[in-house]
A and B are shown apart, each in its own frame.
Chain A
């Protein structure tokens, strides 16, 4: 029984098969999630590997954030696949000439590194919580500690060594987890809006931007809700990194368009009307003006006049810029994924528009639900393990090797 087809409006001439959008809102959401994963990890790495002390207050929190988004990252993909029950084919019979096959290896490798790093960072806390608990909770935490209870200074030194190693491997792993998506689009000669060697770097830079922005938003929200203090040095540092990443991102995005406009090859005849008509709102209004220009100015004020700013002002500028940049990065994903499919490979026409429905399988509600699930995962993590300050050994208690 063939479902009723809603044939979209086409302007100009599009190849008959081109009118169907294959990659939906789910595929816009997926790189958004992995971008946050990679960005949050890199901030954590700045403390754990590069010793940036001002980022210590959120070093654990950023790992937890990376984990929260990592856990839900496969969901949009599974929702989109025609046969999610065959999803494991990607790791059972991967075709390595395909960037998408890289997903299996890259996702699982990074997940492994992240889980290992989380274990080493929180090991002491797991053991201390195990010691203070009774019954089932004690058993669970003991299992999480793999039934070893050594938190002596020497053991913790080994942990710190392991963390440094894992972070060092983790940075390229996280970058590849997000960068491969850029390559997936950028290496496709069939679509001129996607095909550029800059794509992996653009994706990576904007992923970093969204990761830092998400951390700013979550950190400030968490502190507000729990009554904690927002560390001004931390926010100042995050502002600097956010400003840097967003400048790199927007420069690359504009560079790509300027090159296309200058070279004026065949693709430009189709891309120019795409940008000025179909994507006028999402690209020019949202991505460039609201999402790039305004945060650029706000962050410029925040970073260059950092010394003179009252904490409240700095925090507000930071929060607003971060929110706008989170929107910008989403708009960029939308413009790339959906924009590339609005334009037909005939170069003579466009699909009218793509409007995801609220209750569709790959629609708005599904996207919102998956996005919220990441916060739920983070919340659950924070209930299991302390995400801000680590637990301290109480006076008189021995580090020793026992559970006691």
Chain B
């Protein structure tokens, strides 16, 4: 009785513990990249928006909603209309995200410039959203797309708070985080995202930075482009041509 038995028993227990802790090493899966016939190593996606071309028809918003079953009142992509006038007056609106287009509402100042800005998830290189996901449900693929695993997400909403662009939301039916996926189910089959296909004026373009002949890659390399909130250093993969200083 007493201390000696305790010590011996304890050491035995420690040995057992060491054995059990080895279990995870046996169970860890091995990775080798690539999924079937699509090889994500060949792609690094990028999106280019030309503000000067957008007519604010909202067909992109409508098409995205249909393609991805986006619930009412929530948006994976949306259009903002800016009307800027003398004296620094700015009027911004986005009626139902631009889903049904825009109408000519009156503003009480003389408009000197106006434009439409399509917005969506920027699929940042330095994502603030995947950084804060507590369970690893939000992640970036090797081809540069930020996705949410709806079977693993616990619906805490931290990523929604962390996105500076307001591109995320909690899905009211599935109760998990949701956002634009650049139509991953389409682009991995060689199609373009639904919004890009729908745009009648080529305001939205989609490209692959790993393809030397890619026109989007060329445009970004040779023409002045901007990103939203550059000071936050999220390093978006959505580039804008013709962005005004009033756009956040």
Contact = CB atoms under 8 A, between A and B. Distances in A.
Do any beta carbons of A and B sit within 8 angstroms of each other in the complex?
Answer: yes
B80 to A, nearest CB: 8
Given A17-B167, A103-B134, A346 B248 contact: yes
A99 interface: yes
A135 interface: no
A204 to B, nearest CB: 20
Closest 8 CB pairs of A and B: A82-B155, A82-B175, A15-B166, A100-B134, A190-B164, A22-B157, A89-B135, A13-B92
B134 A20 contact: no
Interface string A326-364: 000000000000001100111110000000000000000
A22 to B, nearest CB: 4
A3 interface: yes
Given A5-B172, A82-B175, A83-B155, 20 more contacts: A15-B166, A20-B169, A22-B160, A23-B157, A23-B161, A81-B155, A82-B153, A82-B156, A82-B174, A84-B154, A90-B134, A93-B135, A94-B134, A98-B134, A100-B158, A188-B128, A190-B128, A346-B166, A348-B92, A348-B248
Interface of B: 71-75, 78, 80, 90, 92-94, 96-97, 119, 128, 131-137, 152-158, 160-170, 172-176, 232, 248
Given A13-B94, A22-B161, A345-B248, A83 B153 contact: yes
Contacts of A90: 134-135, 154
A22 B162 CA distance: 12
A341 B158 CA distance: 12
B228 to A, nearest CB: 11
A82 B132 contact: no
Contacts of B134: 89-90, 94-95, 98, 100-101, 103
Contacts of A190: 128, 161-164, 232
A86 B149 CA distance: 13
A369 interface: no
B135 A95 contact: yes
A277 interface: no
Nearest to B157: A22
B109 to A, nearest CB: 15
A16 interface: yes
Interface string A170-191: 0000000000000010001111
